[in-house]
A and B are shown apart, each in its own frame.
Chain A
Amino acid sequence: MKSIIDIEKLDLYYESFHALKAMDLQIPEKQVTAFIGPSGCGKSTLLRTLNRMNDMIPGTRIEGSVTIGGKNIYSDEVEVESLRKQVGMVFQQPNPFPKSIYDNVAYGPRLHGTRSKAELDVLVEQSLRQAALWEEVKDFLKKSALSLSGGQQQRLCIARALAVQPDILLMDEATSALDPVSTLKIEELVQELRSEYTIVMVTHNMHQAARVSGRTVFFLNGVIVEAADTEQLFANPKDSRTEDYISGRFG
């Protein structure tokens, strides 16, 4: 297992609240890793640590290291903009810009300096194809992104994240606001994308974690209780707290 993200002795505090405690975790490259655990266990906080989204929350303090592709992302040399190009994110609620479908996808590449129309056209098509949305929108690229359905908007957000050619895609409960059919489409998409990207997803749906991920990490009260191959974790977890959680005994 070659890891792309190495988390070592990570502690995170929101003011005096100790949200992540002495976390050690390796996340393998080009696989889907799912974070599961009850509300407030730290899974979303850790996800947001991976592209420094927590920097925006005042009073956040971090100790330990998060290394991505060999670089500690909390060192002074790392620019947050380039980190977020490398580590894209998709949120719970689809959040397209109030712009055209095309401009949503072209937004990131333009921001990072791509100006040529021909290059942008290629990137937009490629990203929309990767997000399994191209066939549905290819004739309406100038239409407002807000005219799309929720599921389509979420795939557009995935296309937007892919357009800047990241290595890692973070998904924070990316299907929890979607209907079952749209959820299934996103899950299929994740299966397609995992050969090219490292995907880390937070999900409240344990069966989604079981269906989609190769590795699963179980969090409880700011601690990583167990990280294992998904099949192992759901078939025969090592820690009784994991068993209790996935069996619905708490949470």
Chain B
Amino acid sequence: MIRRKEFDKDLEELRSTLQQMGEHVTDALGGAIVALQTLDTARAQEIVKADLTLNAMEDKIMDIGSRLIITQQPVAKDLRRIIVAFKISSDLERMGDLALDVAKVTMRIQGQQLIKPLVDIPRMAEIVNKMIDEAIQAYLDENTDLAYKMAQDDDQVDHLYSGMINELYTNLVAHPDALSQTMLLTLVGRYIERIADHATNIGESVVYLVTGKRPDLNQ
């Protein structure tokens, strides 16, 4: 039988840690994009270092969740709350890694000029950061409408991503010497698009938490 007071206190700790992880990822992605736009390697390095904090928060979620399962043997929605916390923390940790990958691109193009001003990449990152905020909000409020909205936002990101690829390829024909940077910027687009997929996974987790059913929003 669950000792409710203690359980609720630990659940709240899970929720606030996930909220912090979400804020950490949006900061990391926002910072990585600014670092890329301004080719600020010092800032990019800070983002790489800060990833350790995010990993520690994921470990914390695993520790609290495992302890709750062992000591309180939760069922029904209480059990789903913990399963979902594991899943969301793993998505957020992966999103943090991808933001870090964006930061590493800045370090790799150190000393070069950008082949073109970045337009689609910051736009994609802006939408993705909004998605992360909304995904976390959907989780905190157990709001499935907001969770389902992830699928539409994700489509928008996918659309921008394919437009960006076309543009970079066209640019490459005119500037074949820019191959290396073109590939790196393509990767940045890919990283951001993957972050959007993970945000969509969080939306799926929220629907599972509330309804017990597993939708596929990543189609």
Contact = CB atoms under 8 A, between A and B. Distances in A.
B77 A243 contact: yes
Contact of A206 (B1, B3, B4, B78): B1
A91 interface: no
Nearest to B212: A236
A65 B3 CA distance: 39
Contacts of B3: 248
A247 B76 CA distance: 7
Closest 3 CB pairs of A and B: A248-B2, A236-B212, A234-B75
Interface string A215-251: 0000000000000000000111100000100111100
Contacts of A234: 75-76
Given A234-B75, A235-B76, A236-B76, A248 B1 contact: yes
Contacts of A206: 1, 75
A210 B76 CA distance: 12
Nearest to A210: B75
Interface of B: 1-4, 7, 73-79, 212
A90 B4 CA distance: 33
Interface of A: 206-207, 210, 234-237, 243, 246-249
B73 A247 contact: no
11 contacts: A206-B1, A206-B75, A210-B75, A235-B75, A235-B76, A243-B77, A246-B75, A247-B77, A247-B78, A248-B3, A249-B4
Contacts of B75: 206, 210, 234-235, 246-247
B214 to A, nearest CB: 12
A247 to B, nearest CB: 5
A236 B214 CA distance: 13
Contacts of B212: 235-236
A248 B76 contact: no
Contacts of A235: 75-76, 79, 212
Contacts of B73: 207
Contacts of B76: 234-237, 243, 246-247
A206 to B, nearest CB: 7
B14 to A, nearest CB: 16
Nearest to A205: B1
Nearest to A246: B75
A232 to B, nearest CB: 9
Contacts of A247: 2, 4, 74-78
Contacts of B7: 248
A107 B76 CA distance: 45
Given A207-B73, A234-B75, 5 more contacts: A210-B75, A236-B76, A243-B77, A246-B76, A248-B4
A242 to B, nearest CB: 8
